[in-house]
Amino acid sequence: MSNKDFTQVYQEWQQQVTKRLAKTPERKERFTTSSDIEVERLYVPAEIDGAYMENIGFPGEYPYTRGVQPTMYRGRFWTMRQYAGFGSADETNKRFRYLLEQGQTGLSVAFDLPTQIGYDSDDPMASGEVGKVGVAIDSLEDMETLLHEIPLDRVSTSMTINAPAAVLLAMYIVVGEKQGVPSEALSGTIQNDILKEYIARGTYIFPPKPSMRLITDIFAYCAQHVPKWNTISISGYHIREAGSTAVQEVAFTLADGLAYVDAALDAGLEIDQFAPQLSFFFNGHNNFFEEIAKFRAARRMWARLMRETYQAKNPKSWQFRVHTQTGGSTLTAQQPDNNIVRVTLQALAAVLGGTQSLHTNSRDEALALPTEESARIALRTQQIIAYESGVTDTVDPLAGSYYVEELTNQIEQKALEYMDKIKQMGGAVAAVEAGYMQREIHKMAYETQRRIESGEEKVVGMNSFRLENEPQPELLRVDPSLGKKQTERLDDLRARRDNKLVEQTLAQLKRGAEGTENLMPLILACVRAYATIGEICGVLRQVFGEYRSV
């Protein structure tokens, strides 16, 4: 391609960006280095050939290797969304409001295990687990407390909930109604990725077929009624936490994503009706350059799959929009302050990779839920990267690096090889049922643990550079009487609510589950009547049954 051709292509792109800037202006500041060197919005080679345009292109343009927005962080930073939740809804509400006061720009809710698997706090199955690894949410009343004085028309909320995602989303929608915020104005994400629960995490309730039905019901409902909501966060994070490689994280996550697309199409939805509301969730791990390349490869792969294989016409359907959390499995209980350094590198890799949202783990999470001080340091890590490092001043600053571009290509190639194997097996659902992805992850997890235990792979402060007398940090402790308090709250709620209405709405939900209608309106009716998560999921358990791992 001649320089004249390059100039024309580049100028056309600049014109497109200028038009978009009218809607998404850049931050109001001069972009310069500390030596007053002007920083350009985008750096490109002197000439652009066909291969460059096909594989890399421009940010905000297909195939999105360089980012899904033309200005990326010069327009706005990623959403700083610290994952939080413990104890009661009231305690977590106080932590949320504290983090918002400290500059957090979005909420991310951690639910306790009983909530994640659809049990009320007074269920025998919940004994000893209420509020321990997240907040206990039994009913709409708890959700109202959780979101008290948080303006849902201005704050985006991510909820790490999967099997009962429809119930928690319904609670959120109804709290919005009570605040006077219509569902069309709500923004956020539900994780809602059940396949990775079977693969790596384990908080499933129902078998795959009815679980996929619930997911596609959410897709259809939100496309019409909650258009700003991300209806699923297809999660590689937990796949990576279980021991996968970066390549496996990309391959298995995208394979799961295609399974959800296929299920929605089989349910009668059009690709562009739901694909713009799909989002992804990746891990930020330790190998700095590989992590950057991972994000770039995944964006390119998803764009090509959506446009070329699934024939999506809306550019928003091609965009791989991703939330990142730094690697929990990389944190050590030994010398926990070292985790601040690990998290900083992982967060920086995610930013250089072009993430849209980020959670930074706290230094003490290998020992307990984070203290307020530790959560603040984790948030400050993001803010220092955003405001002080200079890495946000230009788009995709590592593009053109021989190493990064080759890593991007290699990750794409190797991930596609995995995806071809999964396709030959009949897709992700069939691969999960056969245990294929689980076995692949277990093999890599075993190999990693072997290298760490042998000392072949060094973990600073754990198997090398150890201290004899390590100071013990102050840890957060969850109120041990919380289970009893939540039981008392439930007893009080059941005494005050209209129990006849609860029974009617639950009966209607059961009839709907036995049929084929969309279940979201029926779940919303149950939630408005203050039916509990255990009661709603209990009805669905009666109809759908429960999944048992092989």
Q: What is the per-residue pLDDT across 360-383, written as a single tens digit (0 to 9) for each?
A: 999 999 999 899 999 999 999 999
Q: Determine the Cα–Cα distance for residues 255 and 272; give it in Å rounded to an integer.
A: 19
Q: Determine the Cα–Cα distance for residues 232 and 501; give it in Å rounded to an integer.
A: 31
Residue 157 CB-density burial (10 A; 0-12 exposed, 13-18 middle, 19+ buried): buried
> pLDDT band at 550, cuts 50/70/90?
low
- List of E strands, 477-542: none
> pLDDT band at 62, cuts 50/70/90?
very high
Q: What is the per-residue pLDDT across 274-304, written as a single tens digit (0 to 9) for each?
A: 999 999 999 999 999 999 999 999 999 999 9
C-alpha separations of 368 from 96, 182, 203, 362, 474 in Å = 18, 37, 20, 10, 10
Helix ranges, 305-435 (H): 315-318, 338-353, 372-388, 402-424, 428-433
Which 3 state secondary structure label does DSSP give 281? strand
Q: What residues pair up with 157 in beta bridges, in sequence order?
A: 107, 188
Identify residue 496 by its one-letter amino acid code. R
Sheet with 106-110: strands ordered across: 83-84, 106-110, 156-160, 188-190, 229-230
> pLDDT band at 1, cuts 50/70/90?
very low
* pLDDT at residue 518 greater than cutoff 50: yes
Which 3 state secondary structure label does DSSP give 401? coil
Q: Which residue, 314, 338, 549, 285, is CA-closest to 433?
A: 549
What is the predicted pLDDT for the residue at 114?
97
* pLDDT at residue 347 greater than cutoff 90: yes
Q: Cis link prior to 59 (omega < 30° from 0)? A: no
The CB-based long-range contact list for 468-472 (8 Å cut-off, 24+ gap) reads 470/334, 470/335
What is the predicted pLDDT for the residue at 157?
96
Domain ranges of the chain: 3-55, 72-454
Largest CA distance in the chain: 78
Q: Determine the Cα–Cα distance for residues 469 and 446; give it in Å rounded to an integer.
A: 30
Q: Which residue, 345, 343, 349, is CA-closest to 361?
A: 343
Sheet with 322-326: strands ordered across: 79-80, 357-359, 322-326, 278-284, 232-235
Q: How many helices (H) and strands (E) does the chain have?
A: 22, 10
Unique residue bearing structure tokens 């402790």: 477
Q: What is the per-residue pLDDT across 392-412, written as a single tens digit (0 to 9) for each?
A: 999 999 999 999 999 999 999
Q: Which residue, 440, 324, 312, is CA-closest to 382?
A: 324
What is the predicted pLDDT for the residue at 531?
98
Residue 481 CB-density burial (10 A; 0-12 exposed, 13-18 middle, 19+ buried): exposed
Q: Determine the Cα–Cα distance for residues 398 and 391; give it in Å rounded to an integer.
A: 10
Sign of the alpha-carbon torsion through 194, 195, 199, 205: positive
Structure tokens at 441: 């992850």
Percent of the chain at pLDDT exceeding 70: 99
C-alpha separations of 254 from 363, 499, 533 in Å = 30, 44, 30
Indicate the pairing of strand 357-359 with strand 79-80. Answer: parallel
Structure tokens at 99: 């983090």
Phi/psi at 393 (nearest 5 deg)? -80, -20
Say which CATH superfamily domain 72-454 falls into: Methylmalonyl-CoA mutase (3.20.20.240)
* pLDDT at residue 510 greater than cutoff 50: yes
* pLDDT at residue 24 greater than cutoff 90: no
Q: What residues pair up with 446 in beta bridges, in sequence order?
A: none
Q: Determine the Cα–Cα distance for residues 173 and 159; give it in Å rounded to an integer.
A: 13
Q: What is the per-residue pLDDT across 418-473, written as a single tens digit (0 to 9) for each?
A: 999 999 999 999 999 999 999 999 999 999 999 999 999 999 999 999 998 888 88
* pLDDT at residue 220 greater than cutoff 90: yes
What is the predicted pLDDT for the residue at 3?
52
Q: Determine the Cα–Cα distance for residues 318 and 533; give it in Å rounded to an integer.
A: 35
Which 3 state secondary structure label does DSSP give 190? strand
Contact between 427 and 258 (Cβ < 8 Å): yes
Tell me the pLDDT of the chain averaged across its residues: 94
